[in-house]
Each structure stands twice: as structure tokens, then as C-alpha cells.
């Protein structure tokens, strides 16, 4: 019995025990499982060798990106929704390990799996350099435009109605932030990690502020400046390719929207000290950041999940998440008063799902723009993030704080003004 036959036999055995609610189709055309519905397609028997030789999440990522595994008759969301009849970790205990071991030698001595073409990064580099930011954000402005909204907002949307589309959700998010910051005409607003300039443009047009942004992305900054010129706001908005650490001056309000994930815990002291230095006394700061759930002990907290390692390796080099309590502790420890915290977890689950669906609908264009490996990687990444937020394994919070002063904070007595 050759490699392909042995590999097929092993897959049949695993499918029989795990009982997935979706079908599995082999490279030979054989379909295992339900007669209809989506299929997990294994295009190459060498995929079995890869997972046997290196049974890690990285291997599954590499198999997906290289096209060794795929989905037909549906998408990754469909496969995730169907799952298996019982919890996977319980089913794994029932696998006939001796039988699988007997068939394994034929698989182990097969040809090496084909390379995916990915360039992984050191997942333990803490904090993002300009090179790390470029790895993620300078892919191609045209590529991001395939799945983002019309204003190119690459952070969590805000759904006043779950049926709203991504354009409406992102416009509502920008307005929600401006209202929370209580922006007023003539005030100065700093946007740390300003992306394509969407918040600054919205705030200048609708709230009369003068805006300044800092970014480390060349591609984003170039397009942001074009958009600012097109809106006739060059006298009201400026953007620098510069780190927040060396920025000078003070501002009435500061926003950090989806940037803090790149800072790294080793740099938290510098970050919060810099924000405190740049914000005027009594000024408001919006801290909008993805987080992990806290653990009972620091040792458990320091353990990185396989998903976290894969995202940092392939998507966000230098990225690191804190937990909500850590953010609040740092804010208070650096002279801020925390006023409000809003959990937007389900909003980000919805946002990432819409991004993934939009990318899939324009997948051929994405491949032309960045190549099949990267397009497939991002489809997997956006789907995985959506599921993580929907299931609660990742969180995102908007935390509003002020630079502490004695006496009244200056905020309204209630939050009714946010919802008018």
C-alpha cells in the first residue's frame, strides 16, 4: 500500500472517530461524510505528512496558504459553524492511536511538503518597529480597499443596528469616538497611529477641530495626505511619519484607535508617559484596544496560545495584547482618571466577518494584487479573528480617560449626550 493509500486510510479513520458535520474530500475525489453541504478538501496527501511531522497550528496555516487544504461548497465560517458532533478534545481521546502509528511510517518517508511561500517573523519580538508596521500596513492600499469600507477604516465598526453594512458602521464608529471625546470647534486632536486619516478627516469636517496624526506606515500616510488634500483640509490636518515617543507639543484631546496592540508590554511605560506628556491637563484620551482575558495568575497570563503565536508570526510582528485591568492600571498609574469602559467585542466579530466576506467576494482581485499565498492567509486571519471575537476568546474595549486634575472632570453628569 503506497503513500496515498496509507494517507487516505488514516484520514478515513480520523473522520470516522471525529464525526465532522461537514464532508472531507480527498485528492482522489473520494468524499467522506455527509452527501451535501460544504467540504474540507485535502488536495495533497503530503498534507498528512506535514501535520504528522509538525503537529502545530503553524502547519495548518501553511497547508491552507499553500492550497494543500481548501474549502468548497461553502467557506471557513461554514466549516467552523458545523464542527464535530462532540467536542474535538474529547473525540481526540478516542482515536485508535496504535492503528494510526502502524500506518505512519509510509507517510513519514514521503516527499517533503511544498513550501507556502510565507515569511514568518519572530513571534517574541515585543513592540513594533517601522519595519514591522510596514510588514502589515504597507502591503497595498488597493488591497485594503477591496474589503474595507469607503472611508478605509481598519478598526472595529460600531453597529447601532446589527443589520447595518460596514460603511454605516464605520461612520457611526468615527462619530461615536468624536462624541466620547466631546470634541469642540477650535480644539486640537492628536491621532496616534492615524492610518488612512479617516478619524482626523471626520473630526475636522464635523466637529471643527484641528488635527494632527502620527504613523509609521509610508503607504498609509501617502494616501491619507491625498485624501486630506481632496477634502480641502490641508490647513486643518497634518500627518507625520514619526513615533509618538519623539512627538512634541500638547493637545486638547488624544485618540489611539487600534494602535496600542503594536506597542508591546516592554514599552508600556514609554507609551503611557508619552500620552500623559502630550495631553493637556483635564484633556480626554480615548484608548481603543484589543485585549485578552485576564488569568488568575501571572504565569498563566504569560503563556501564549497557539493562535496568538501564529498571528504574531505571520500577521502582526511585534504585536502584543494586554488585559483590561492592565490598561486601567497603567492609565491610573500614569496620572489618568478612567471615566468609561465600553466592550465592543461583538461589534468586532461582526466587523471581521464582513471584512472576510468582502475579501472572499473579490478574491481574484486580491490574488492579482498580493498573490495567492497572502490573500489566502488574510482570509484565514480575518475569519479566525471574527470567530475569536464572536466566541469571546478576544475582547476589545474603548476606555475613556482624562489627564487627572483636582476638582470637576468637566464631563456631563450622564452619558445621554452620546446617544442623541
Question: Is residue 385 flagged as an active site residue?
Answer: yes
Which CA distances in Å does 271 have to 227, 233, 252, 275, 276? Answer: 28, 29, 18, 6, 9
Q: What is the 3-state secondary structure (H, E, C) of 73-111?
A: CCCHHHHHHHCECCCHHHHHCCCCHHHHHHHHHHHHCCC
User: Which residue shows C-alpha cell 485578552?
Assistant: 292
Find the catalytic residue in 156, 178, 352, 385: 385
Which CA distances in Å does 308 have to 134, 347, 348, 388? Answer: 20, 20, 17, 11
Q: How far is CA 57 from the centre of its chain?
A: 17
Listed residue (154, 280, 138, 163) closest to 220, CA to CA: 138
The torsion angle over the Cα atoms of residues 45, 48, 54 and 58, rounded to 10 degrees, is 80
Which CA distances in Å does 33 have to 2, 30, 70? Answer: 23, 10, 16
Three-class DSSP category at 112: coil
The torsion angle over the Cα atoms of residues 203, 241, 257 and 369, rounded to 10 degrees, is 100
Three-class DSSP category at 366: helix
Q: How far is CA 293 from the centre of its chain?
A: 16
Residue 31's contacts (CB-CB under 8 Å, 6 or more residues apart) are 23, 24, 25, 39
Residue 230's contacts (CB-CB under 8 Å, 6 or more residues apart) are none
- Buried residues in 371-405 as b, exposed as e (16+ CB within 10 A): ebbbbbbbbbbbbbbbbbbbeeebbbbbbbbbbbe
* C-alpha cell, 344: 465592543
d(CA 195, CA 200): 10
d(CA 281, CA 285): 11
Whether the CB-CB separation of 166 and 145 falls below 8 Å is answered with no
Tell me which residues are annotated as active site: 385
Amino acid at each position: 500500500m503506497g503513500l496515498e493509500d496509507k494517507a487516505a486510510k488514516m484520514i478515513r479513520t480520523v473522520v470516522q472517530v471525529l464525526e465532522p458535520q461537514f464532508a472531507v474530500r480527498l485528492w482522489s475525489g473520494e468524499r467522506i461524510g455527509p452527501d451535501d453541504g460544504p467540504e474540507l478538501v485535502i488536495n495533497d496527501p503530503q498534507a498528512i505528512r506535514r501535520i504528522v511531522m509538525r503537529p502545530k497550528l503553524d502547519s495548518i496555516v501553511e497547508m491552507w496558504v499553500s492550497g494543500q487544504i481548501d474549502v468548497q461548497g461553502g467557506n471557513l465560517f461554514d466549516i467552523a459553524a458545523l464542527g464535530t458532533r462532540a467536542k474535538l478534545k474529547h473525540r481526540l481521546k478516542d482515536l485508535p492511536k496504535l492503528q494510526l502509528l502502524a500506518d505512519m511510517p509510509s507517510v513519514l518517508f514521503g516527499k517533503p511538503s511544498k513550501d507556502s511561500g510565507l515569511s514568518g517573523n519572530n513571534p517574541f519580538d515585543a513592540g513594533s518597529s517601522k519595519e514591522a508596521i510596514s510588514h502589515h500596513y504597507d502591503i497595498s492600499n488597493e488591497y485594503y480597499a477591496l474589503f474595507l469600507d469607503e472611508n478605509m477604516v481598519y478598526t472595529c465598526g460600531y453597529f447601532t443596528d446589527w443589520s447595518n453594512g460596514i460603511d454605516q458602521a464605520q461612520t457611526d464608529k468615527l462619530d461615536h469616538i468624536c462624541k466620547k471625546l466631546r470634541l469642540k470647534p477650535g480644539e486640537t486632536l492628536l491621532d496616534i497611529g492615524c492610518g488612512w486619516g479617516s478619524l482626523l478627516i471626520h473630526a475636522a469636517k464635523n466637529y471643527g477641530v484641528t488635527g494632527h496624526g502620527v504613523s509609521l506606515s509610508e503607504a498609509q500616510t501617502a494616501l491619507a495626505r491625498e485624501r486630506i488634500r481632496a477634502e480641502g483640509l490641508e490647513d486643518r490636518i497634518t500627518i507625520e511619519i514619526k513615533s509618538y515617543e519623539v512627538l512634541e507639543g500638547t493637545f486638547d484631546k488624544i485618540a489611539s484607535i487600534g494602535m496600542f496592540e503594536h506597542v508591546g508590554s516592554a514599552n508600556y511605560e514609554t507609551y503611557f508617559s508619552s500620552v500623559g506628556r502630550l495631553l493637556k491637563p483635564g484633556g480626554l484620551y480615548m484608548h481603543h484596544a484589543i485585549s485578552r482575558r485576564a488569568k488568575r495568575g501571572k504565569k498563566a497570563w504569560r503563556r501564549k496560545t497557539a493562535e496568538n503565536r501564529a498571528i504574531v508570526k505571520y500577521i502582526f510582528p511585534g504585536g502584543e495584547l494586554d488585559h483590561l485591568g492592565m490598561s486601567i492600571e497603567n492609565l491610573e498609574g500614569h496620572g489618568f482618571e478612567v471615566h468609561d469602559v465600553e466592550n465592543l467585542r461583538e461589534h468586532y466579530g461582526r466587523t471581521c466577518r464582513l471584512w472576510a466576506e468582502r475579501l472572499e467576494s473579490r478574491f481574484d482581485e486580491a490574488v492579482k494584487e498580493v498573490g495567492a499565498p497572502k490573500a489566502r492567509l488574510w482570509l484565514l486571519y480575518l475569519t479566525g479573528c471574527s470567530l475569536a471575537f464572536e466566541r469571546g476568546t478576544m475582547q476589545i474595549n474603548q476606555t475613556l480617560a482624562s489627564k487627572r486634575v483636582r476638582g470637576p472632570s468637566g464631563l456631563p453628569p450622564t452619558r445621554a449626550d452620546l446617544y442623541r
